[in-house]
Structure 1
Amino acid sequence: MRLPAIAIALCAALCAAAPPACAAQQDAATREDAASHRVLVMLRMPAPHFRPDSAYAGGYAEDGARAALRRTARELAATYKLTLVDDWPMPAIGIDCFVMEASADAPLEPVLALLARDPRVAWAQPLNQYHGLEADPLLQVQPAERFWHLSALQRASTGRKVAVAVIDSGIDADHPDLAGQLDRREDFVDDKPDTAEAHGTAVAGIIAAHAGNGKGIAGIAPDARLMGLRACWETRGQPARCNTFTLGKAIHFALVNDARIINLSLSGPPDRLLQTLLDAAAARGVAVVGAFDPQRADGGFPASYPGVIAVATDDDPRLLPAYALRAPGTDIPTSLPGGRWGMVSGASFAAAHVSGLTALLLALQPGTTPARLRRELASPPTARVSASGNSRAGRIDACAAVGRAAGACVCQCPTTTAATFELLP
């Protein structure tokens, strides 16, 4: 019972020279602590009485009846060692509600039990706490919400405790949507682990941005634990750059630190060192997700390497290789450095979607192998091609994949009774 008081004292010390916002937080903490020691005691109002004169308005004025209830409330407080704090008459339900506070070290349950048996009390109850249900303002424009029914998926899984290594440029760990989401931060470029860069921050946000915090977006797997492994660097006006050595160090770090998923939103030439590390990842059961390079027929490396889950954008117009999956990758709202949000497009961000979705699956079935994950993610194969030439092969049915892992329907579930409809003339 002393912990809230200690927390308030610490908050007071830290806020001594802080701006007014900190004082507001301290006030809120004080209110919440006080509420944890308070009960509501309901006393029934006397039956309404009617007077024939025109002054009567049916209210509950400061008259003898109200004074009598207050006396009763004070007697109850004294009997049960409570302090009378406040009250509010509620004539609409015939109740006067009194707020009473117990001492900090007194448990409320015995007091509530005694009050419940007192014939003067209509009922007594705890002072419960409630919270607003804030939505992430950009959630409704996220393709993952429109096409994957992200909110429904997250009722089945949030990727809890699944370790995802984001091997990329620097991640803004102070971003409102990413604060506290990174378990590890390592820099394999120039020993500047606090570097915040656009590409890495955007990828990390898609995978694991906070959900339901009333800010920005919702990550696909908001309860996944990120490793922010900086192996790439950014130069103004240029895409992020990496090399064999920086990537090799980062992949090795992910392997020895028990990453379950490695996200590689990048492309380049085949490389023996990196191939050897990817083979080691496959042997350890680590899922590697790579971005399908639209400039290369085979998707480039590492996407084309056996065992890597290759991901292209949903709107890529080409007939893709059978091993490539499709995921949202165009006009994706996500986090950007400096506490900002913006729109991004490209296979890098489609791959981030799949890394997040893979985390949802692994949280439900931790032992699933990378090969099985790839099969679970893919829709049933089809040779259908749209008028634009865009093959539907490899398109992900996220609801079905998560539903199979959860063993239950997770979105757009059928009702238990059948209904028959007919067309009207």
Structure 2
Amino acid sequence: MKLGWLLLCFASLSFAAEQGGVTPAASAFPEQFSPAEAERMILVGFADQSIERTSAPMPLSGYRRRGDYQSSTWSRRTSAQIAEDYHLQKLEEWPMTEVGVQCVVYKVLSAGPIADTLARMAKDSRIKIVQKMHWFQTQGRHEYNDPYFKLQSNLHTMQLDRVHDLATGRNVTIGMIDTGVDAEHPDLSGQISRQENFASIVSPEFAGDIHGTAVAGVMIARKDNGVGIAGIAPDASLVALKACWPAKADAMAAVCNSYTLALAVNTAIKAGVDILNMSLTGPKDPLLELLLNKAIEQGIIVVAADAGEQAQDNFPATLNQVIPVQTLSRTKDTVDNPDGRVEASAENVLTTLPHGAYDFISGSSIAAAEVSGIVALLLELKPGLSPQNIKSLLLKSQQELSLQLTDADQTRGFSGINANHAVASLCKNENCADERFAFTWGK
């Protein structure tokens, strides 16, 4: 019985706040108080059989709601007398009509321990129950102050806002083998721990390269900095290794060769990166195969762009234990996926460009970057995951999202990987590094 009326008490006070009519000089809601003052609030209830004989509410705030009940005169006198007897300040009171109890919120004014006051009040025959005020929190989603976040439909599709309160890629290093990156971009400044140009003879430029800047933004753009966008793993560190150069001036497309790529992979291994993102494809290459197998042997997760079944040259995505990522297919059934394609929704993805700019970019390069970011979230929570573990989580997550979508959603390409489901699945089956996953959170 005590629990029932207590819940009603909380509900009534919350309802008053939600209606927007409660504006008391002293309110029971924490924004009116410092944390120390809020800690001195207590909740008291006492029986009043006359409550249901009245017809309109009368809390201290003066807030009225039609069709409800007011505190009786006897209740208001009793609550005032209790305040005087125990040196309390009365903040709010409200009748719990269903159980015939008057609910009162007080602030303890005496300097002594609150427990002493509670113990004395518990012996008072007038009082049915007395306790400290408890505060509860809803399990909401992360709120971003990045002005373009609402335009990042790919992040909404993968439910990233449900993940960022729990994992952001902290203590994970991504090695990116690509073109150069604008490290002074407002959303990339401070995000790159190391950069090196292995193609300096043919392309000394680094900061002005488009492709690498776009791929980096998808993975590690700073969040909550009041600028631009949010990356998938904004607290991950990036090692930017330029092995490719623009096919022509100011072009998105770029080219690389075996030598520059090998130098970059070798450097990434020596640097001890956790993830190696290769948003590129080409012919099978023995030297690169040797180096990439060494990287995998060292525990590095290699993620590569997958150009699909029709591609003549699709290395390194074809290499065993590399995680290949395709752009979400609109021509195949997104639920029926017998060949185990890892797919990311990578059409018109808003990301960073040189000189502080942003634009919408599409393609498997972006898809691979999205997956590298998600892998960073997984590794923050469970270091040492194998490529097989990670691929399994990714495939399960995209299947889960596909099953939740309508046919119209799937036709528009709203499918692919669900980062929220991947992280939740990991922490359901493994002991995650973060104790916050002791809680269950919804889809």
Matched with 1:361 is 378
1:138-287 to structure 2, matched below 5 A, reads 138-190=148-200, 192=204, 194-234=206-246, 235-236=248-249, 237=251, 239-287=253-301
Corresponding residue for residue 425 of structure 2: 404
Deviations 1:73-112 (A, max 9, x none): xxxxxxxxxxxxxxxxxxxx9xxxxxxxxxxxxxxxxxxx
1: CA distance, partners of 2:158 / 2:314 = 27
Q: Is the contact made by 1:165 and 1:227 (CA closer than 8 Å) also made in structure 2?
A: yes
- Aligned pairs for 1:287-302 (under 5 A) are 287-294=301-308, 296-297=310-311, 300-302=314-316
State the AA in 2 paired with 1:379.
K
Runs (5+) with no aligned partner, structure 1: 1-92, 94-115, 118-132, 415-425
TM-score by length of 2: 0.58
Matches within 5 A, 1:19-98: none
Deviation at 1:151, TM superposition (A): 1.4
Q: CA deviation at 1:283?
A: 0.8
Q: Which residue in the other structure is 1:304 paired with?
A: 318
Q: Could you say what secondary structure the match of 2:383 adopts?
A: coil
- Cα distance in 2, alignment partners of residues 315 and 411 from structure 1: 32
In the TM superposition, residue 153 of structure 1 has moved relative to its aligned partner by 1.0
Whether the 8 Å CA contact 1:155–1:410 is kept in 2: the answer is no
Kindly state the Cα deviation for residue 305 of structure 1 after the two structures are TM-superposed.
Answer: 1.4
Alignment CA distance shift 1:139-1:267 (3 Å): same
TM-fit CA distance, 1:336: 0.1
> Equivalents in 2 of 1:201, 1:220: separation in Å?
15
Letter in 1 for 2:395: A
CA contact (8 A) 1:310 1:323 kept: no
Equivalent position of 1:85 in the other structure: none
What is the aligned length? Answer: 284
TM-score computed with the length of structure 1 as normaliser: 0.61
SS at match of 1:304: coil
> Is the Cα–Cα contact under 8 Å of residues 399 and 410 in structure 1 kept in the other structure?
no
Counterpart residue identity of residue 369, structure 1:
S
Aligned match of 2:442: 413
Counterpart selection for 2:354 from 328, 337, 349: 337
Q: Structure 2: how far apart are the matches of 1:371 and 1:313?
A: 20
Instruction: Supply the distance in 2 between the matched residues of 1:354 and 1:215 (Cα, whole angstroms).
Output: 23
Question: Structure 1 145/181 Cα, relative in aligned 2: closer, same or farther at 3 Å?
Answer: same
CA RMSD of superposed structures (Å): 3.3
My pick for the range that moved more, 285-294 or 403-412, is: 403-412
Residue 342 to residue 295, structure 1, CA distance change in 2 (3 Å): farther
For residues 299-339 of structure 1, what are the alpha-carbon distances to aligned partners after superposition, in whole Å with 9 as ceiling and x for unaligned?
A: 71111111111111124524777243011210000000000
CA distance in 2, matches of 1:205, 1:230: 16
Does residue 371 in structure 1 map to residue 388 in structure 2?
yes
Q: Percentage identity across aligned positions?
A: 38
For structure 2, the 5+ residue unaligned runs are: 1-90, 92-110, 113-142, 429-436
Q: Quote the Cα distance in structure 1 between the aligned partners of 2:160 and 2:256.
A: 32
2: distance between equivalents of 1:282 and 1:180?
A: 28
Q: 1:322 to 1:212 in 2, by over 3 A?
A: same
Q: 1:238 Cα shift?
A: 6.4
In the alignment, which residue of structure 2 is the partner of 1:66? none
Change in CA separation of 1:300 and 1:158 when aligned onto 2, cut-off 3 Å:
same
Would you say the 8 A contact 1:327–1:350 is kept in 2? yes
Residue 296 of structure 1 and its aligned partner are, at CA, apart by: 3.1
Query: After TM superposition, which residue ranges in structure 1, 4 or more long, deviate above 4 angstroms?
Result: 318-321, 380-384, 386-390, 409-412
Secondary structure class of the residue paired with 2:174: strand
CA distance in 2, matches of 1:389, 1:401: 19
1:268-301 CA-partner distances (Å, limit 9, x unpaired): 1110011111111111111000111147357711
CA displacement, residues 137-175 of structure 1 (integer Å, 9 cap, x when unaligned): 121121333211111111110000201001000000000
Question: How many angstroms apart in 1 are the aligned matches of 2:167 and 2:177?
Answer: 24
Aligned partners of 1:411, 1:250: CA distance in 2, in Å?
41
Q: Deviations along 1:348-374, whole A, 9 cap, x unmatched? A: 001000000000000000121122111
Contact 2:351/2:360 (<8 A) preserved: yes
Match of 2:41 in 1: none
